Amino acid sequence: MLPQIKRGLFVEQTTAQTWNLTSLYDGKSQSAELKNFMMDLENTIEQAAGQLQNYRGMDARDIKVLWEIINQFQTALLGWEQLDDFAICAYAENVADQSAIALMDDSAVLKAKLTSLQIELDQAFAEFTEAEWQIFTATDRMQAASFYLNKRRQMVKDRLPAELERMISALSVNGLSGWEQQHELVLTKLRVPIEIEGELQEVSIGQALNEAVNGKDRESRKCAAEAVAKTCEVHEDAVAAILNRVAGSRLAIYEQRGWDNKLKEMLEHNRIEEASIDAMLTAIDGNKDLYRAYIERKLKVAGYETAGWFDLESPAFPLSDKVDFGAAKNAISKQFHQFSGKLGHFADRAFDQDWIEAENRPGKAEGGFCASMPLAKESRIFLTYRDTYQDLITLAHELGHAYHNFILHDEPALAQQKGTSVAETASTFMENLVLDAVIEQTADQNERLAMLEIKIRDGLKYVVSVPNMFRFERKFYDQRADGMISAEQIKTMIAEVENDIYAGLVEELALHKWMFIGHFYDAEKAFYNIPYTIGYLFSNGVYEQAKQQPEGFPERYDALLRDSGKMTIEQLGKQYLGADITQVAFWRDAQKSLCSAIEEYLELTEKYWQGIE
């Protein structure tokens, strides 16, 4: 099938599927060079901390000294980011590597010291008068980092005195962070009995969920989903207590800081206004009927009289074709080159210099990610490539992150810091670039429907699933302010938000999903789900403009990525898209690509619908 695709996009070729970590540090997690680097990094942090203490004790402060301290902080920040991501890479390629686990622990210790230095720097920034601060941040040395510095200075004003913030940080080890770790421990130890290839096996919750979503047939998916529910019922009270403590700890901190808005921290992290999020959710609600129409049609075409949550991602039109790694490389390179030579050459470099770990082998971590190596000005990409179209899209997604890193690596460290939402800009854009090309070149109707399902399924995660969990989380935090919430009450909240879209379509809801969505338990980032919807739709807004105004767009696109560490999302939208993202219109337009795919799907499946009726 898909003969014209194989002649066009996909050409099989042999390509290495393992990355090269030794070019960064010979010996990987046991590298002597890396150990020396860590010692130097610790010394840099301690030296900067000592200089900062002396600076703040001066009667007449020398701005040149502060410049030097900030430079040292930036050096340490880039060093720690490379160390931490390298440790994650070393562990991901071999989860049994005890040296990599120890390296991650060492990285966490250095992060705590770096955070302490950051808190002291913030206090130094707060001690400037407004006039002094304007002069300081306008200097050539500080101008590129002025956005970050201004944000940090404002954050100090919104927080407690430094000694109390340090106390909160110290207490969180056995408080907020401790509860996050406890959740990870509980989930890690959960075992779910499911039947795989005729044999009853005790598997992890992650494996069981994968079987429930991707099992070979509906009966196996349904059995896995039921087994997950039964296992979760046994542990739901314990996990509910953990979720209550995570939220309670966070609410207590907010109360001490005098914060009334529970979204304040999330808005800060993502550099976005609440008005923009409200406009986005309103725009999503405006397409709810269309999204429901797709879900209903897909379930009917698949032949389900009654449906469960485990049916939602199961394809009604499975893809029989495979796309090997070499063919994926060829397809991605072709589409990236068509967008811009710079992007295409970057992708070729990532493949040719072995930045990508894609081999399907035991002993690896699950999932996919892109790691930034800012000192080396490189990235590393991790996934397990199993020759599916979804793997092709994941690879394009992670290469998007790597390209974003590539653009930012020439900026000062403080201008490289970007929010979670804008971090998805390049990755989602590259997904669209590759997936739309595949769909466009697919003539066979069933194959085209299968590719449309991939695009729509991924989109509905961001415009249905994630917003639902955001609404649940807001409701949970509102009620948690009045006291503890039982597991039964939590399940009722889940049912209420899920039925807003699934009522009459899905009878068996995943009422325990709050137990295994790790973002709910994240100690550092509150309301950590919704940034992915923001990023997905903002990127789609960028993609729409690329189609409508292609002339000179690659250069504007690179500039947008370059400024992603220097602007709010509202500023990026205005500067590079001419859009006001606090208005519903932007977010409505950002859904056009997804809505068009759904409308085509509904049109192509009309004959199936009529046949069922």
Domain CATH for 593? 1.10.1370.20
- In which domain, by residue range, is 148 found? 28-172
Query: What would the mean pLDDT of 195-223 be, rounded to a whole number?
Result: 89
CATH code, domain carrying 411: 3.40.390
**Per-residue pLDDT, 383:** 95
Say yes or no: 519 and 548 in one domain. yes
Find the angle CA(291)-CA(294)-CA(295) to the nearest 5 degrees: 90
Residue 65 pLDDT greater than 80, yes or no: yes
Residue 408 main-chain phi, psi, to 5 deg = -80, -20
Residue 560 lies in a domain: yes
Residues 62 and 371: their CA atoms lie apart, in Å, by 37
Asked if residue 37 belongs to a domain, the reply is yes
Q: Mean per-residue pLDDT for 127-156? A: 91
Q: With a cut of 50, say whether residue 6 has pLDDT above it.
A: no
Contact 10, 437 (CB under 8 A): no
pLDDT digit string, tens, across residues 342-388: 999 999 999 999 999 999 988 988 889 999 999 999 999 999 999 99
| pLDDT of amino acid 3 | 26
At residue 14, the pLDDT reads 60
Number of domains in the chain: 3
Residues 421 and 539: their CA atoms lie apart, in Å, by 9
Q: Which of 396, 420, 444 marks a domain boundary?
A: 444
431 and 449 share one domain = no
Phi and psi for 382 in degrees, rounded to 5? -125, 130
State the chain's maximal CA–CA distance in angstroms.
85
Highest mean pLDDT among 192-201, 479-488, 541-550: 479-488
Same domain, 164 and 193: no
Contact between residue 547 and residue 502 where contact means Cβ atoms under 8 Å apart? no
Looking at residue 244, its pLDDT comes to 98
Do 189 and 43 belong to one domain? no
Q: In Å, what is the CA distance from 105 to each residue of 21, 87, 91?
A: 19, 9, 12
Same domain, 147 and 42: yes
Closest among 297, 264, 307 to 509, alpha carbons compared: 307
Please compute the mean of the pLDDT values over residues 35-60 and round it to a whole number: 93
Nearest to 24 by CA among 385, 371, 363: 371
Q: What rounded mean pLDDT belongs to the chain?
A: 92
Residues 324 and 312 in one domain: no
Query: Mean pLDDT over residues 590-605, rounded?
Result: 96
Given a cut of 80, is residue 152 above it in pLDDT? yes
d(CA 222, CA 581): 41
Distance CA 61, CA 130 (A): 16
Q: Which residue has the tokens 């494996």?
A: 207
**Dihedral-angle region of residue 242 (phi above 0 means left; psi in -120 to 50 means alpha; beta otherwise):** alpha
The angle that helices 466-480 and 218-257 make with each other, rounded to 10 degrees, is 40
Report the pLDDT value the prediction gives residue 13, as an integer from 0 to 100.
Answer: 54
For residues 253 and 107, membership in a common domain is answered with no
Higher pLDDT among residues 8 and 227, named by residue: 227
Q: What is the CATH classification number for the domain harbouring 157?
A: 1.20.140.70
Enter the tokens of residue 317. Answer: 């039109």
pLDDT at 8: 44
Q: Are residues 455 and 589 in the same domain?
A: yes
pLDDT digits (tens, 9 = 90+) for 519-528: 999 998 899 9
Tell me: the pLDDT tens digits for 170-183? 888 888 989 998 99
End-to-end CA distance of the chain: give it in Å, rounded.
Answer: 29
Q: Taking each helix axis as running N to C, give the angle between helix 530-548 and helix 425-440, from 0 to 180 degrees, rounded to the nearest 10.
A: 60
- Residue 18 belongs to some domain of the structure: no
Looking at residue 610, what is its pLDDT? 63
What is the tens place of the pLDDT at every residue in 288-345? Answer: 999 999 999 999 999 898 899 999 999 999 887 789 999 999 999 999 999 999 999 9
Structure tokens at 434: 């590759």
CB neighbour list of residue 419: distance below 8 Å, 6 or more residues apart: 269, 270, 271, 272, 531, 569
What sign for the dihedral angle of Cα 410, 415, 421, 422? negative
Cα 167 versus chain centre, distance: 29
Considering the domain architecture, whether residues 395 and 253 belong to the same structural domain is answered as no
- For the chain, the residue count is 613
> The tokens 């699950």 sit on which residue?
366
Q: At 7, is the pLDDT very low, low, confident or very high (cuts 50, 70, 90)?
A: very low
Nearest to 391 by CA among 448, 437, 431: 431
Query: What pLDDT is stored for residue 215 in this prediction?
Result: 87
| Joined tokens for residue 367 | 């999932």
Whether residues 123 and 190 fall in one domain: no
Residues 425 and 453 in one domain: no
Per the domain annotation, does 17 fall within a domain?
no
What pLDDT digit, counting tens, does each position of 516-557 carry? 999 999 998 899 999 999 999 999 999 999 999 999 999 999
Predicted local distance difference test score (pLDDT) of residue 346: 98
Mean pLDDT of 221-247: 97
Q: Token digits for 484?
A: 């503890």
Angle (nearest 5°) at CA 497 between 493 and 500: 145
Domain boundary among 387, 415, 444: 444
Q: Report if residue 598 sits inside a domain.
A: yes
Residue 611 pLDDT grade (very low, low, confident, very high; cuts 50, 70, 90): low
Average pLDDT over residues 241-261: 96
> Would you say residue 62 has pLDDT above 90?
no
Q: Is the pLDDT of residue 12 over 70?
A: no
Of 172, 207, 233, the domain-final residue = 172
With cut-offs at 50, 70 and 90, classify the pLDDT of residue 197: confident
In a domain? residue 177: no
pLDDT at 499: 97
Q: Judge if 435 and 470 occupy the same domain.
A: no
Indicate whether 5 pLDDT > 50.
no
Q: What is the DSSP letter of 363?
A: T
| Tokens encoding 568 | 């709010």
